[in-house]
Chains A and B, each alone.
Chain A
């Protein structure tokens, strides 16, 4: 029983970060109808910004702020400078541009900062709180959970109740009609990229201190898992990202604990295949007619 509680706690903390990153993918999907394969590489660039700013100033929070700003700028630059030139004729065009961007960003980081891992610190105690002899979540894990839920709530409000959010959904769903109705589609798409890049950066920034450290490839597995989460939850659904993130996080933890770490990548694939077979649009996808 102790072991189960311990594994659930561990999975919850990891799942929150996955959920946040998946949310960034959902955001772009909602705002521009593309799957952004460069999300991880863009997020790692912002994390390097945070690392440098924190090293210079000694303040975690200034680093965090700088990373969010950098994430926003990068989202803007990538949308206006690269993705805008993707051919609308085929969704593959955007995917290929994004993969190219991954190579450019990771190589550039490798050239500037080298391949070594750099340790990142967190502003909270990251040792686990022990309850009844079982180490559960650490204060830092709780911080991650709170941030993930808060960001998710804010985005739900944005997309449901604000004019900008509704315009973004409309523009992504039916760009032509939206234009006729006076929505500046090109602007809403850019806003989608900026928001998504900020959220992705936040996820990477929260994850990296708990992993091997900062490296040009630090978000590779985060992207793969985050993508799985987004598909499991439904690319359209912020709630799906949250539930999918926690599901995948807990599943990974349980598989590691009871079956062995080697089976984790397989388990994640099995989950993905099952969801795609049984509910191809994802667990929390909206009805076909309302999908946007």
Chain B
């Protein structure tokens, strides 16, 4: 083929492709939506060291979706949930999220888990206009509608939690010495920022950190004991909460522990500490939560039934409630996104504030806020039962806004926990 005729062929091909594209310009349904299904996906650690704390979440979400699907789905569509294992390794997260978007063609990514892992894909998801809903991390980073218009947070941010817990601690134990043990990453730093907002720059007598790669906190707990710490805040994951309490007990160091919700789930802590000693070590343990957790709550009963029927009766913990609550919130968003949901209508449903979720404080989704929960309730453990402390719910923001008591009602269960439009 001569140079000239090759050019002609190239132009002709280009023209054909252009014509083809023009013919397709009528709006297509969003990826992942068919006549009777909606496909969504997530990334989460199912293997590796982080699997212990988190693999039960996606299983619970899946169980909830199975329950919804068995009861007719949402607007006649069943929800398919693709769970990708990233082993909590950001490099793997990049790969599996690209698989979700490009090969599985998911409608949205929901509840992608972890700050370092999700940070690896947040730009990609926003550049490709994939809804990135209900990130499973308390980093304030996900609430940036200007930078990440497709990203919506789920957890109350570490700062919000810390401010609420510090306010409660200050009111309950005004004359005690406050200290903190935090993870040496965003989690610990953000949480400590929140504490300092309330307690003041010199409000913390000792600030200790730990690294997840060293399973030993003797030196840190020893330092807190030596500094005379009486009320210790914990920005720790569940395993290290257990390790901190166990270590303190071995050193005969009695203190009041006040933990972030990320490391304050009683059933999970019992798993680490053992059923014999856990109720003793955790007596009076204070934490925070924003989801239904009281043993007699209607949501909890429903989730327990779903867990028995659709999740093989897996151990019921805060992770189970969390996973199912995320599922409920997505189902609600989908129900509000219309009979023929598109990615735009899904995001619109979130931004107009149409969602209630099932938390103890209202959701704060709007055009200007992509944070879900701007408040938490205080929980405490008494004789092996973790429950909310009556009347101790606080709302605040992730900035330097005031911490205010919240007196409204928690969102009540309606319609068998299956949202409708």
Contact = CB atoms under 8 A, between A and B. Distances in A.
Interface of A: 2-3, 6-7, 10, 14, 107, 110, 115-119, 121, 126-128, 130, 135, 138, 210-213, 215, 217, 220-221, 252-253, 256-257, 260-262, 264-265
B223 A116 contact: no
A185 to B, nearest CB: 38
24 contacts: A7-B222, A10-B216, A14-B216, A110-B51, A116-B52, A117-B271, A118-B271, A127-B251, A135-B252, A211-B215, A212-B215, A212-B242, A215-B49, A217-B48, A217-B49, A221-B214, A252-B214, A257-B223, A261-B208, A261-B214, A261-B220, A262-B211, A264-B211, A264-B214
Nearest to A258: B219
B219 A256 contact: yes
Contacts of A256: 214, 216, 219-220
Given A212-B242, A256-B219, 15 more contacts: A6-B222, A119-B271, A119-B272, A119-B273, A127-B251, A211-B243, A212-B239, A213-B242, A215-B52, A221-B213, A253-B218, A253-B219, A261-B184, A262-B211, A264-B211
A127 B252 contact: yes
Contacts of B23: none
Interface of B: 46-49, 51-52, 55, 184, 208-211, 213-220, 222-223, 225-226, 239-240, 242-243, 249-252, 271-274
B214 A265 contact: yes
Nearest to B216: A14
Contacts of A260: 184, 209
Contacts of B218: 10, 14, 253
Contacts of B55: 115
A212 B236 CA distance: 13
B274 A117 contact: no
A215 B216 CA distance: 16
Nearest to A120: B274
Contacts of A262: 184, 209, 211
B47 to A, nearest CB: 6
Contacts of B222: 3, 6-7, 10, 135, 257
B214 A116 contact: no
A117 B211 contact: no
B250 to A, nearest CB: 5
A110 B225 CA distance: 37
B251 A115 contact: no
A10 B219 contact: yes
A119 B218 CA distance: 18
B250 A126 contact: yes
Of B211, B215, B219, B225, most A-chain CB atoms within 10 Å: B219
Of B214, B239, B249, most A-chain CB atoms within 10 Å: B214
Of A6, A14, A138, A261, most B-chain CB atoms within 10 Å: A261
A6 B219 CA distance: 8
Contacts of B208: 261
Contacts of A138: 250
A253 B242 CA distance: 20
B113 to A, nearest CB: 14
Contacts of A252: 214, 216
Contacts of A220: 49
Contact of B272 (A6, A10, A213, A253): A213
Contacts of B242: 212-213
Contacts of B252: 127-128, 130, 135
A257 B218 CA distance: 9
A2 B225 CA distance: 12
A135 B251 CA distance: 7
A217 B88 CA distance: 14
A226 to B, nearest CB: 14
Nearest to A218: B215
Contacts of B49: 215, 217, 220
Contacts of B211: 261-262, 264-265
A260 B211 CA distance: 9
Nearest to A140: B250
A3 B210 CA distance: 18
Contacts of A130: 252
Of A3, A10, A14, A117, most B-chain CB atoms within 10 Å: A117
A212 B226 CA distance: 24
A212 B250 CA distance: 14
Contacts of B52: 115-117, 215
A220 B271 CA distance: 20
Contact of B219 (A7, A118, A119): A7
B305 to A, nearest CB: 23
Nearest to B242: A212
Contacts of A115: 46-47, 51-52, 55
Contacts of B239: 117, 212-213
Nearest to B218: A10
A9 to B, nearest CB: 9
A217 B184 CA distance: 21
B363 to A, nearest CB: 31
B219 A211 contact: no
Contacts of A117: 52, 239, 271-272
Contacts of A210: 216
A40 to B, nearest CB: 12
Nearest to B55: A115
B46 to A, nearest CB: 8
Nearest to A209: B246
Nearest to A264: B214
A3 B226 contact: yes
A261 B221 CA distance: 12
B259 to A, nearest CB: 16
A17 to B, nearest CB: 10
Given A115-B51, A261-B211, A261-B214, A212 B243 contact: yes
A213 B218 CA distance: 15
Nearest to A213: B272
A265 B211 CA distance: 9
A118 B273 CA distance: 8
Contact of A127 (B51, B223, B250, B274): B250
Contacts of A213: 239, 242, 272
A252 B15 CA distance: 67
Nearest to A253: B219
A27 B243 CA distance: 32
Contacts of B214: 221, 252, 256, 261, 264-265
